[in-house]
Amino acid sequence: MLTRKQHQLLLYIDDHLRRTGFSPSFDEMKDALGLRSKSGIHRLISALEEREFLRRHHHRARALEVLRLPHMGTGAEASTAEFSPAVLSDKDMAFEGKFAEAENENEAAPRCISLPLYGRIAAGLPIEALREQGSQIDVPVSLLTNGEHYALTVTGDSMIEAGILDGDTAIIRQGELAENGQIVVALIDNQEVTLKRLRRKGAMVALEAANPEYETRILPADRVRIQGRLVGLYRHY
């Protein structure tokens, strides 16, 4: 399913490609949809990519490919459909203008999503992260990546030089894979949980603090299990 704006943008891009042979510019798309900023176009294109209606060729400028249209086949099959903008009466135009203003204001506001809040995690000495049953937190979608996410409340000051403060909410992408240098949620001996920077060397794992007052913990890799990696921070003032 596509939103109204996603559907409009997809049809406009398809029509422009068939008429000119190349993609419309972001300014052209913004003007065609009556949006106030190009950031809304970026979000719409990303959503169409995720739903596999559109493909962006990043190595070429202004290179968009329509893969399929709603309720139709592939881009090649759908290309026979004509793009015909609706003709509105003066009364309809007045209504559409007010509707577009409200929609633009809504798009300008940060969209949020609810994530489960899994208690407190130590950024100092490891503590067990206890899930607070039923607790949720609303965070902007801009803090998220692909995949499942959850949130943890940070306690301690061992990661202050990484910009992670006591009381911050850590946004974690769930998973067991992480690269050297990434900040991860590490489960130690199946009972201790901590937020630290990951380093691997051979059969050993180092969990580094970002505060010189704390020592790096070096452990056999089989004692440490990655439960996710940090993708964002949410802070209340």
Mind telling me the catalytic residues? 158, 196
From the list 124, 127, 134, 120, the residue with the least C-alpha distance to 170 is 120
| Secondary structure string (H, E, C) spanning 21-90 | CCCCCHHHHHHHHCCCCHHHHHHHHHHHHHCCCEEECCCCCCCEEECECCCCCEHHHHCCCCCCCCCCCH
Question: In the numeric block, which tokens belong to residue 2?
Answer: 């596509």
Q: Which one, of 222, 172, 212, 163, lies nearest residue 194 by Cα?
A: 172
Task: Tell me the backbone φ, ψ of residue 227, rounded to 5 degrees.
Answer: -110, 0
